[in-house]
Amino acid sequence: MITAEQKPMDEIRGMLAPYKRVLALGCGSCVAECAAGGEKETAMLASALRMAARIHDEEVLIHEKTVDRQCVKEFILPLDDMIGEYDAVLSLGCGAGVQAVSEMYQEIPIIPALNTEFLGETKDQGYWVENCLGCGDCMLYYFGGICPLARCSKQILNGPCGGSVDGRCEVNPDIPCAWQLIIDRLTRFGALHRLEEIYPPKNWARKQGSGPRKIIREDQQT
Amino acid sequence: MTDSRKRTLALFYCRNVPESSETHRQAIEKGCDEQIRLFPLPCSGRLEPVHLLRALEEMADAAYLITCPEGACRYFEGNLRAKRRVERTREMILSIGLEPERVGIVIGSKEVPKTLAQHAAEIFDKISQMGPSPALKRPANETFACEKRRDWL
């Protein structure tokens, strides 16, 4: 899941300042799950912005709507009938959602209300952690399902570093040592021998350095 | 000089609050000329920040919640969740320049339980000390006196 957090109110109001008719556009997928940009959060933000406008004597019209997914064209299409009424759209989608809506409506500014954070897991209610960097070359098999790139502070592929104390990371004692977790887990499987391999430095060209990545699946295309 | 416009309070409450039946609710609202609008909840944990924000936006100078005493929630932690949500709402209204005291929570007491009407009177007295909310859209011709009727007590 893509996680995000709402930007500070002052920043949002600053970006909206030139516009008089605004559509606050929520997204019902990942950002709803992480309570940043779903229907409820969109209603809250729109309500707060309308009240802020009254407090500061500003004539602004703010409507709200939430689509199921801002990053899929088919889900954005229903906006066709209403988008012309607005000077700007305040998107509570992730960065991908903001850009998908921007591409659909070239003449209207699409303003991000959220800071997109990371690919995360919901650990508990209201608690999300990053555990995948989306590196494009998954090595989880070798490390017992625990990614040393996302979860080890030093991102080392041939660990442990030797600095952990009582299974906690020496850089950030709030988190468990990823290498302790890897070794414990591989031991449970009887697969510790996988660590006898020396893993070469990560080839980051699969993640970045060649422009935006894309996936093309002809069998999925019409 | 005190602003003479009438104050309005949106009051959400857990149905476990003593003397909070529908009859009591209607009597309180009627008795105070609807300056207090009451919203019963099956549990205070049902409250979402958007409920408080919408109340402040549409109809109230202040929005409060009454919960059952800590440890007495029949859904175990509804009132604890409500407390955090009220706190989140206070942070949000502070960020737009509204006094955080316009949103609040009153946790019932096991030792000295109060009725809904008693809670409502105390909270209304408290919010009447504040000026009218600048976030609330008011009719242009509004000039009500801030009269406090007490026949619903």
Q: Flag whether B114 is in a domain.
A: yes
Handedness of CA B71, B73, B78, B84 (dihedral sign): negative
pLDDT along chain A (222 residues), means of 10: 97 98 98 97 98 95 97 96 96 98 97 97 94 95 96 96 96 97 96 96 88 91 86
* Total structural domains within chain B: 1
Q: Flag whether B110 is in a domain.
A: yes
- With an 8 Å Cβ cutoff, are B93 and A51 in contact? yes
Distance in angstroms (rounded) separating the CA atoms of residues A130 and B117: 48
Distance in angstroms (rounded) separating the CA atoms of residues B106 and B82: 11
- With an 8 Å Cβ cutoff, are A55 and B134 in contact? yes
Whether cis (ω within 30° of 0) applies to the bond prior to A160 is: yes
Judge contact between A23 and A65, C-beta under 8 A. yes
The H or E element spanning position A3 is: strand A2-6
Looking up residue B83, the CATH number of its domain turns out to be 3.40.50
Q: Flag whether B138 is in a domain.
A: no
Distance in angstroms (rounded) separating the CA atoms of residues A8 and B121: 36
With cut-offs at 50, 70 and 90, classify the pLDDT of residue B146.
very low
Q: Flag whether B81 is in a domain.
A: yes
Judge contact between B44 and B68, C-beta under 8 A. yes
Interface of A with B in 53-92 (CB under 8 A): 54-56
Return the CA Rg of chain A. Answer: 22
Judge contact between B39 and B65, C-beta under 8 A. no
Residue matched to tokens 């409450």:
B13
Structure tokens at B78: 């509804």
Please list the residues that pair with B66 across neighbouring strands. Answer: B13, B106
Neighbour count for residue A192 (Cβ, 10 Å): 15
Distance in angstroms (rounded) separating the CA atoms of residues A125 and A121: 11
Return the pLDDT at B145. Answer: 36
Distance in angstroms (rounded) separating the CA atoms of residues A152 and A220: 36
Distance in angstroms (rounded) separating the CA atoms of residues A27 and A210: 29
Closest of A65, A53, A72, A120 to residue A89, by C-alpha: A65
Chain B contact present for A9, CB below 8 A:
yes
Return the pLDDT at B138. Answer: 60
**How does strand A21-27 pair with strand A61-67?**
parallel
Residue A107 phi, psi (nearest 5) = -90, -10
Structure tokens at A98: 């903001």
Range(s) of the domain holding residue B38: 9-128
Distance from CA of B50 to the nearest CA of A (A): 5
Q: Flag whether B34 is in a domain.
A: yes
Return the pLDDT at A210. Answer: 83
Q: Each residue of B94-142: pLDDT tens digit?
A: 999 999 999 999 999 999 999 999 999 999 999 999 999 999 976 554 4
Chain B interface test: which of A47, A58, A62, A64 (most B C-beta within 10 Å)? A47
Exposure string of A9-18, with b = 16+ CB inside 10 Å and e = fewer, is beebbebbee
Q: Catalogue all structural domains in chain A, each as residue range(s) with its CATH number.
A: 2-118 (3.40.50.2300), 133-206 (no CATH)
Structure tokens at A65: 């709507």
